């Protein structure tokens, strides 16, 4: 038998907010790396998730949903999207049964010009009504130059194996880019902050999740326990009151839910302390954004 060549490459997941990009990446890699919520603009960074096999290494990147920037924060989020257009071997363009190309025509143009093979993934087909998938397929094939169209349901893991096969067919021969033990490029404390951010997205309404950022001040790993001190930053003191809630109840709930999720994620006992601070208008301020790790 001839020796198989090793394949490796970057597969970048892009699309509008809320179409299910993070849900899909987690299903493909089999780990809950990216946070998920029913609200748009949940993901704010480029997050790598790696699949390692003897014969291949696929480096996925989950990215923030594509949008027209309204805040300085959005510009940073979109720069992660543009960066991931540049180093992709394969683009997974994810949409669902409901999204249109409104506001993202220029990025689609850039993808069409890029020469990178595009797999068009139509998600949430578990919600499909008669004829809807056909109509959506026609709509998107007129807009994006895709090599193939893959209808899926990420939440039901339906047809996601086909995505892997289509990727492997297009992955270049290359030695691995990362150690075969690696699962992501982000440090552990990043995931601790994301887990808290997810619980905030799930528990608060309107502007609160969008006005919030989480910073991990301390992350001490001991043999049997990880001790974490997190600061939840909001933009105004009125929001601080909402996050804490009556008698501290709301913040306590966030603490409990986050700790439980972290214990699953890190596989260790967690001691978590959370504090709330005001960092006025951090979403509009370049220096404050830099401090929070948006330094593109
Ligand atoms: N019915 C259905 N819902 C889905 C499916 N995939 C994702 N969702 C839901 O869609 C919502 C958004 O999912 P996310 O994975 O956070 O979407 P995203 O594209 O990463 O969103 P941003 O990070 O905001 O850009 C969540 O409520 C998911 O549970 C699916 O296949 N079917
Ligand atoms: Mg996301």
Q: Does the domain made of 3-170 have the CATH classification 3.40.50.300?
A: yes
pLDDT > 90? residue 2? no
Residues counted in the chain: 296
Span 189-207, average pLDDT: 96
* Test site for ligand 1: of 13, 15, 18, 98, most ligand atoms within 8 A of the Cβ: 18
Q: State pLDDT tens for residues 130-187.
A: 999 999 999 999 999 999 999 999 999 999 999 999 999 999 999 999 999 999 999 9
Q: How far is the CA of 295 from the centre of ligand 2 (A)?
A: 19
Fold type of domain 188-291: GMP Synthetase; Chain A, domain 3 (3.30.300)
Q: Would the CB of 26 count as within 6 Å of ligand 1?
A: no
pLDDT interval class at 1 (50, 70, 90): very low
Q: State pLDDT tens for residues 37-62.
A: 999 999 999 999 999 999 999 999 99
Q: Would the CB of 84 count as within 6 Å of ligand 1?
A: no
pLDDT > 60? residue 258? yes
Is residue 152 within 8 Å of residue 136, measured between CB atoms? no
Annotated binding site: 15-22, 62-66, 123-126
Pair of tokens at residue 35:
């946070």
* Test site for ligand 1: of 23, 99, 128, most ligand atoms within 8 A of the Cβ: 23
Q: State pLDDT tens for residues 116-140.
A: 999 999 999 999 999 999 999 999 9
Residue spans per domain, the chain: 3-170, 188-291
How far, in Å, CA of 91 to CA of 94, rounded?
9
Q: How far is the CA of 23 from the centre of ligand 1 (A)?
A: 6
pLDDT > 90? residue 294? no
Average pLDDT, the chain: 94
Q: pTM for this structure?
A: 0.95
Three-state secondary structure of the chain: CCCCCCEEEEEEEEECCCCCHHHHHHHHHCCCCCCCCCCCCCCCCCEEEEEECCCEEEEEEECCCCCCCCCHHHHHHHHHHHHHHHCCCEEEEEECCCCCCCCCHHHHHHHHHHCCCEEEEECCHHHCCCCHHHHHHHHHHCCCCCCEEEECECCCCECHHHHHHHHHHHCCECCCCCCCCCCCCCCHHHHHHHHHHHHHHHHCCCCCCCCCEEEEEEEEECCCEEEEEEEEEECCHHHHHHHHCHHHHHHHHHHHHHHHHHHHHHCCEEEEEEEEEECCCHHHCHHHHHHCCCCC
pLDDT interval class at 3 (50, 70, 90): low
């Amino acid at each position: 038998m001839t020796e198989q060549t090793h394949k490796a490459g970057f597969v970048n997941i892009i699309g509008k907010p809320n179409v299910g990009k993070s849900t899909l990446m987690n299903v493909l890699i089999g780990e809950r790396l990216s946070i998920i919520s029913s609200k748009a603009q949940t993901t704010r960074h480029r997050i790598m998730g790696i699949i390692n096999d003897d014969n291949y290494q696929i480096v996925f990147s989950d990215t923030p949903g594509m949008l027209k920037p309204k805040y300085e924060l959005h510009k940073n989020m979109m720069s992660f999207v543009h960066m991931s257009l540049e180093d992709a071997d394969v683009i997974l363009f994810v949409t669902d049964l409901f999204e249109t190309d409104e506001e993202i025509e220029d990025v689609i143009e850039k993808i069409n010009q890029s020469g990178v093979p595009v797999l068009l993934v139509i998600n949430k087909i578990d919600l499909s009504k008669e004829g809807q998938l056909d109509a959506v397929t026609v709509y998107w094939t007129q807009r994006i130059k895709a090599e193939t169209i893959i209808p899926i349901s990420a939440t039901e893991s339906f047809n996601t194996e086909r995505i892997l096969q289509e990727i492997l067919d297009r992955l270049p021969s290359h030695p691995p880019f990362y150690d075969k033990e690696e699962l992501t490029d982000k440090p552990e404390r990043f995931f601790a902050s994301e887990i808290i951010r997810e619980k905030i997205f799930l528990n608060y309404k309107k502007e609160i999740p969008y006005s919030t950022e989480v910073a991990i001040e301390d992350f001490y790993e001991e043999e049997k326990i990880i001790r974490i001190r997190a600061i939840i930053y909001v933009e105004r003191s009125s929001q601080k009151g909402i996050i804490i809630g009556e008698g501290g109840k709301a913040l306590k709930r966030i603490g409990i839910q986050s700790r439980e999720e972290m214990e699953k994620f890190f596989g260790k006992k967690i001691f978590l302390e959370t504090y709330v601070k005001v960092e006025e208008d951090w979403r509009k301020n370049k220096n404050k954004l830099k401090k929070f790790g948006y330094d593109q």
